[in-house]
Amino acid sequence: MATTSTDIQDLYANIVADVVPFYEDAVLLPNALFMGTQYNIENTAGNTVQIPLVNDWTDASSVAAGGSIATANTDDFNPTSVSLTLTKKGKATDVHSEALEDGGAAMVEGQIITRLSRGLAQATDITGFDAMNTAFAANEDGASAAYASYEANMVVSPEAFAYGIKRQPTVNMFYDVDTDTHQFRATIRNGFANLRSAFGRRVSSNAVVGDATANTVVDLADFAKAVANLRAANAPTMGNGLYPAFIGPATENAILAQLGNVSSATIPSLSELGNQALMMGAVGQAVGCMFFRTNNLPTVDKS
């Protein structure tokens, strides 16, 4: 393919049109299934959202005839707020004119879209899981033995976190005449905010695939404990009554045999899942969790 101006502009137009759908198909966390609170503040000033948060309240209690209702039942409505700050993420790829001439337009276009969209999707999920790891660090239901490499698996209520976006995935292209290189730059501005720390649990497990070091590998009982703790906190579930559990490859390997022996450990109908990341990540369900595999969980050092 000749690197004419028309060819490049057509290629660029196709990339711009396709990056957003490919990004949305590859990203996991910014999904209404997992994030019930979402904000789109495109075309507005500022990069922070103040999210109102209702304070805790107690149920009614018995009152003696003629007794004061307010003595034991007063709950002041005193809402607080949480700040959701949006940050910029970027992914770059350069294409030499020789690659365009020799590789073919379709192949080059597909590779550019994949690199840019998946790069932004991975950066988004890593940001979200890192924020969860910080928010739920004290809510540990997994292994606690001294060990340097744990996967920070997460069991989360859809009301635990909020997601915001300021700029959809955007692609710009520049031409470097000195190196005869077309430079593609993709950016996004988004972020996450913890709303209620009690609505999420961390289940740390050995991050080394197949390593059975004593007291470092979790099983379904640990995830059942996380679910019980969320239910005790009155944390809402997804619409199907389950909590999403995000697990790493080593944890998936450790519990896969157990999932296969649990009668309810079925992979959900793929038609009910929102995008390719969900469909590819769905492992099964058991003990009140729907399990999703991801490579973007942080690693915890407890040594």
Going from N- to C-terminal start, the domains of the chain cover 5-54+82-300
Given this model, what pLDDT does residue 15 score?
Answer: 95
What is each CA distance from 183 to 2, 12, 15, 173, 176, in whole angstroms? 17, 11, 13, 5, 7
Q: Is-contact 171 186, C-beta < 8 A?
A: yes
Residue 168 pLDDT > 50, yes or no? yes
Q: Give mean pLDDT, residues 289-298.
A: 96
Given this model, what pLDDT does residue 1 score?
Answer: 40
Ranges 30-39, 41-50, 243-252: which has the least confidence = 41-50
Residue 208 pLDDT > 90, yes or no? yes
How high does pLDDT run on average in the chain?
A: 90
Given this model, what pLDDT does residue 245 score?
Answer: 97
Q: What is the rounded distance in angstroms from the CA atom of residue 290 to the CA atom of residue 226? A: 13
Residue 120 pLDDT > 50, yes or no? yes
- Which tokens go with 165? 């976006």
Q: Give mean pLDDT, residues 131-143.
A: 97
Percent of the chain with pLDDT over 70: 92
Residue 4 pLDDT > 60, yes or no? no
> Is the pTM here over 0.85, yes or no?
yes
Residues 6 or more apart whose Cβ sits within 8 Å of residue 54: 77, 79
